[in-house]
Amino acid sequence: MTGRIVISVDAMGGDRGPAAVVAGLVHSADKNPEIAFILHGDEAVLRPMIDRHATLSGRCAIRHATGVVTMHDKPSQVMRHGQDTSMWSCIDSLRKGEAQAAVSCGNTGALMAISMIRLRKLPGVNRPAIACLWPSRNPGGFNVMLDVGADVKADPEDLVQFALMGATYARNGLNLSRPRLGLLNVGTEEHKGRTELRQAAELMSAAADPGGYEFMGFVEGGDIPGDRVDVIVTDGFTGNVALKTGEGTAKLIADFLRDAFNANVLSKIAALLALGSLRRLQKRIDPRRVNGGVFLGLNGTVVKSHGSADDTGVSSAIKLAFQLAKQGFQDRVAARLAAAMEAADEAAQTAGQTPDQTAGQSEPETGKAAPPKTSEQENGGQA
């Protein structure tokens, strides 16, 4: 595996079993000679599958793990009794530095719990978030949305951290030098939404310069696939509902098109004439091709694949993990958060200084003390 990017993969957690995971590995290995794998699970099950594919020879090590985290297991149970599972082994390989990123199709809550315990949060991060790519009208074809399920709630300060991490993801994943960022709300007017959202909007606006993004204010659900912003910030409850709704709608549209073109002979002929366009549409709205939520705020890159992912979905999640690992994404997130927090601390200290403490700094010509800070300025200094 020397010279390759190594991805640690949980083989046992998905709904379709290890066969779909191994098939996804094969797709990734065929397309990318720079990638290698550490596969975690029951070796007696995995070894025959791996040996059937010459493309994995010398590029896939197996770590035997007898236990499996099911979709019904509670995270607390996994934390107490899950040390022998493939998911735990997968995250441990990342923690030890054997791999540059980890991928699992397993239980989201359990994966987040294990990742937080084994990898730990980045300094200053209160809550990790899960970020996903959403098909959009933007030139790059995607927007970033977070949180989509790491935690069902988020305080204003948490949403600011989500903004910083999401902007860093957009810079590295979508190659945007200064991403446009919006806060999801029930309307775009400044007076709309809960008090917590209005507070978060003030803090996010103040953190825009040190965070390296442009804050566009509130956005609505219709802006998620639009071109007004590049990053949509929300809490995990709202984000997860939106994500599942979008996936269901994409499948519904595909089913409606299939039924319409199979209705009669003429519609089948029309489908043949439009086959190229239909395939492009299918590829554009296929959730499997943008499969993979990234855990942000941890000391390691973890990609959560959809539990029902097939080989195409698994391969997409592995591709995302590879791209982030190759770009040194984890180090960039940590550096961006550290720089933003340092700038916020300096702003807070400056806002709290008395006129005597600001000796040597510019003062009003009258020699009187500077006027008190407005509430907006105080919030900006606390961002």
Q: Please report, for the chain, the start and end positions of each structural domain, with discontinuous segments joined by +.
A: 1-120+298-327
The pLDDT mean for the chain works out to 83
pLDDT bucket at 219, cuts 50 / 70 / 90? very high
3-class secondary structure, 303: strand
8 A C-beta contact, residue 239 and residue 147: yes
**Minimum mean pLDDT range among 20-24, 125-129, 220-224, 286-290:** 286-290
Rounded mean pLDDT, 292-311: 88
**pLDDT given at position 364:** 37
**Minimum mean pLDDT range among 21-35, 262-276, 316-330:** 262-276
Residue 351 confidence (pLDDT) above 60: no
**pLDDT given at position 104:** 93
pTM of the model: 0.78
Rounded mean pLDDT, 210-228: 91
8 A C-beta contact, residue 101 and residue 139: no
For residue 370, what is the DSSP state? P
Rounded mean pLDDT, 140-162: 88
How many Cβ atoms sit within 10 Å of the Cβ of residue 347?
A: 18
**pLDDT given at position 370:** 42
Residue 54 confidence (pLDDT) above 60: yes
**pLDDT given at position 250:** 78
pLDDT tens, 155-207?
A: 998 999 899 989 988 887 788 889 999 999 988 888 888 888 999 999 999 88
Residue 247 confidence (pLDDT) above 90: no
Please say whether the dihedral angle defined by the alpha carbons of residues 349, 355, 361 and 363, taken in this order, is positive or negative.
positive
> CA-to-CA distance for 148 and 156, rounded, in angstroms?
16
Beta-carbon contacts of 39 under 8 Å, excluding residues fewer than 6 positions away, are 9, 11, 21, 22, 25, 46, 50, 60, 61, 62, 63
pLDDT bucket at 34, cuts 50 / 70 / 90? very high
**pLDDT given at position 289:** 67
pLDDT tens, 110-129?
A: 999 999 999 998 888 888 99
CATH number of 1-120+298-327: 3.40.718.10
